[in-house]
Amino acid sequence: MVNGPQKTVRQKREAAGRRAETFAVLALRLKFYRILARRYRCPVGEIDIVAARGKTVVFIEVKARRTIEQAMESITPRQRQRITRAATAFLQSEPHLQNFLTRFDVLLIVPKRIPQHIIDAWRDS
């Protein structure tokens, strides 16, 4: 008996990414971050999580890999540029956040380890 079509590798990765983002949101909430958006998409890029803490808006990239090293290496300069452009678009769509400070963080999710939150992982150039 077949339970339906097999999931493709892409679908499995997408589901794993969603689980990692959900885990990241929980970790951020425990650190008193307010989640403003998840999976924000616009024509110029996308952001996994947009959160706020105090007067700072934080744009967070979530990476789930087998090791911390693999997770860090998976964030390319091109990806950082797309996230930065998407952050600009997000702020333009939310005028009440215009006077907030901004920051780009990374949350690394590795099996059997506490999520590693890298604060101010890169700067908007």
52, part of any domain: yes
- Evaluate whether residue 35 is within a structural domain: yes
Residue 82 lies in a domain: yes
Q: How far apart are CA 122 and CA 44, in angstroms?
A: 18
86: domain CATH number is 3.40.1350.10
Assess if residue 64 is contained within a domain: yes
State the Cα torsion 86-114-69-58 to the nearest 10°: 20
Flag whether pLDDT at 1 surpasses 50. Answer: no
63 CB-contact burial (10 Å; exposed 0-12 / middle 13-18 / buried 19+) = buried
Q: State the pTM of this model.
A: 0.87
Q: Looking at the domain assignment, is residue 88 inside a domain?
A: yes
- 2 pLDDT more than 60: no
Sequence-ordered list of residues with C-beta below 8 angstroms from that of 98, at least 6 positions apart, any chain: 91
Residue 27's pLDDT band (cuts 50, 70, 90) = very high
Residue 3: inside a domain: no
Q: What is the share, in percent, of the chain residues with pLDDT greater than 70? A: 95
pLDDT tens digit string along 68-107?
888 888 889 999 999 999 999 999 999 999 899 999 999 9
Q: What is the pLDDT of residue 47?
A: 96
Looking at the 3D structure of the chain, how many domains does it have?
1
Residue 4 counted as domain residue: no
Residue 61 forms part of a structural domain: yes
Tokens at 47, concatenated? 């952001």
Domain span at residue 51 reads 9-122
